[in-house]
Amino acid sequence: MPIHDAAFSCDGTIIALAHGAVVTLWDAESNLLLKVLNDSAVDNVHKVAFVGPDGRYLVAGGMSTGIAVWDLLSCEGAPFTFGSEFFYNGKRSHLDICIDLL
């Protein structure tokens, strides 16, 4: 399964990998799989990012639809609202997202 995106946690101890319908969390030092996250709101995960002042949350974006946010302390979905802006440069489009965690 191809990896579409990767992100390191703020402290560099965890790597999040986006592939297919899941995001996997890995221990950066030992290379051990820590957790597999999935959410029906995300069709095909292509972007991941650690967010929040301490990187407590992980955000995943689907290739065509869907955004998921997980609280990494519980590994449960986190409620959120978002505003977005769509940009088009003639060849590609992307979505810039502002997330407000509830």
Query: Poorest-confidence range of 8-12, 58-62, 70-74, 78-82?
Result: 78-82
* Token pair recorded at residue 5: 């995106």
C-alpha to C-alpha distance for 44 and 66, rounded to whole angstroms:
8
Which of 15, 19, 101, 90 minimizes the C-alpha distance to 53? 101
Instruction: Write phi, then psi, for 56 (nearest 5 degrees).
Output: -70, -25
Instruction: Give residue limits of the domains in the chain.
Output: 5-101
Say if residue 78's pLDDT is above 50. yes
Check whether 85 has a pLDDT greater than 60.
Answer: no
Cβ(22)–Cβ(3) under 8 Å? no
14-54 pLDDT, tens digit each: 999 998 888 999 999 999 999 999 887 777 888 888 887 78
Cα–Cα distances (Å) from 93 to 10, 68, 88, 89, 96, in that order, read 27, 20, 5, 7, 10
Quick one: average pLDDT of 50-65?
A: 81
CA of residue 35 relative to chain centroid, distance: 13
